[in-house]
């Protein structure tokens, strides 16, 4: 199995479910604390606020890594690139570091090759440095690879946490040099109450959140936790310094229970 190159920085700040002043505060605080990777999406309806927080920070653009995701309504021929340009306008930037397809087209209404082709064109035009996918199954990854080549797919961003370790998808991606980005690494806080995670955290004098994030990063995945609280943003960032032992990694591996939290009706593909 080839090890994927780290196309995406290991640690970033997510903005899912955060809007208005809440997202401005979260991103502003994150940037102040040292976050340099920001993940948003067209459907989050917060790109303009994220852009404002970034602009207000005064941090040079080349020190930042900004990701956004194309929504399913923008897949038709001739629609994807204009929608990306609109995202850039809101984010007050000339380019994204990474642009993802947020969800595959429901029931293949728009073929994978059609939207991936447009996304690759956006990369050629310099609108985005890298491109990737999100919520793609093995079958959909195969279609994306056939369309643009694995070398052009930086990451597959999927729900992945100790209770849903998504191993089949992760192994397939890894074998093709596609990095995995784990979203909801803390399973909406559910894994923080897990006795195994808590015990490991106690041993390291760390928080359960740091343990879950460190676990994912040690497996080679990128993580993008979000928080509205300064203390949590600060604490989560310290996960980068935490190293778990092979035995602890094994313990967390046993927590897999196929517990999927995100599967929007009418949008989600048939999961592996």
Separation between Cα atoms, residue 234 and residue 230, nearest integer Å: 6
Residue among 35, 44, 163, 183 flagged as catalytic: 44
Q: Which helix (H) or strand (E) holds 194?
A: none
**Dihedral in degrees, nearest 10, Cα atoms 249, 254, 257, 260:** 0
Contacts of 154 (CB under 8 A, 6+ apart): 7, 8, 98, 130, 131, 132, 178, 179
- Centre a 10 Å sphere on the Cβ of residue 188 and count the other Cβ atoms it contains: 11
Q: Report the candidate in 111, 84, 104, 79 with the shortest Cα–Cα distance to residue 95.
A: 84
Contact predicate 81/125, CB 8 Å? yes
Separation between Cα atoms, residue 261 and residue 267, nearest integer Å: 14
Q: Is 102 annotated among the ligand-binding residues?
A: yes
44 is catalytic: yes
Q: Report the candidate in 5, 8, 11, 3 with the shortest Cα–Cα distance to residue 185.
A: 11
**Strand 96-101 and strand 128-134: pairing?**
parallel
- Residue 115 in 3-state DSSP? helix
Binding site, annotated residues for substrate: 102
Residues labelled catalytic? 44
């Amino acid at each position: 199995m080839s090890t994927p190159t780290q196309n995406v920085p290991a640690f970033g700040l997510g903005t899912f479910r955060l809007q208005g002043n809440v997202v401005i505060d979260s991103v502003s605080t994150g940037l102040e604390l040292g976050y340099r990777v920001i993940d948003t999406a067209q459907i989050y309806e917060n790109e303009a606020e994220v852009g404002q927080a970034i602009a207000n920070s005064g941090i040079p653009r080349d020190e930042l890594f900004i990701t956004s995701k194309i929504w399913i309504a923008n897949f038709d021929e001739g629609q994807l690139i204009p929608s990306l340009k609109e995202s850039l306008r809101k984010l007050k930037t000339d380019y994204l570091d990474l642009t993802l397809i947020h969800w595959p087209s429901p029931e293949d209404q728009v073929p994978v090759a059609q939207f991936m082709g447009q996304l690759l064109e956006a990369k050629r035009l310099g609108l985005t440095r890298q491109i990737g996918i999100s919520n793609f199954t093995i079958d959909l990854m195969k279609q994306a690879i056939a369309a643009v080549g694995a070398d052009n797919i930086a990451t597959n961003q999927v729900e992945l946490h100790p209770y849903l370790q998504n191993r089949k998808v992760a192994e397939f991606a890894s074998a093709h040099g596609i990095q995995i980005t784990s979203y909801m690494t803390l399973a909406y806080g559910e894994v923080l109450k897990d006795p195994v995670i808590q015990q490991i955290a106690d041993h390291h004098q760390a928080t359960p959140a740091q343990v879950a994030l460190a676990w994912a990063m040690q497996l080679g995945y990128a993580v993008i936790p979000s928080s509205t609280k300064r203390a949590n943003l600060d604490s989560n960032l310290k996960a980068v310094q935490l190293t778990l032992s092979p035995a602890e990694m094994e313990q967390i591996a046993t927590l897999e229970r196929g517990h999927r939290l995100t599967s929007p009706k009418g949008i989600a593909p048939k999961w592996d």
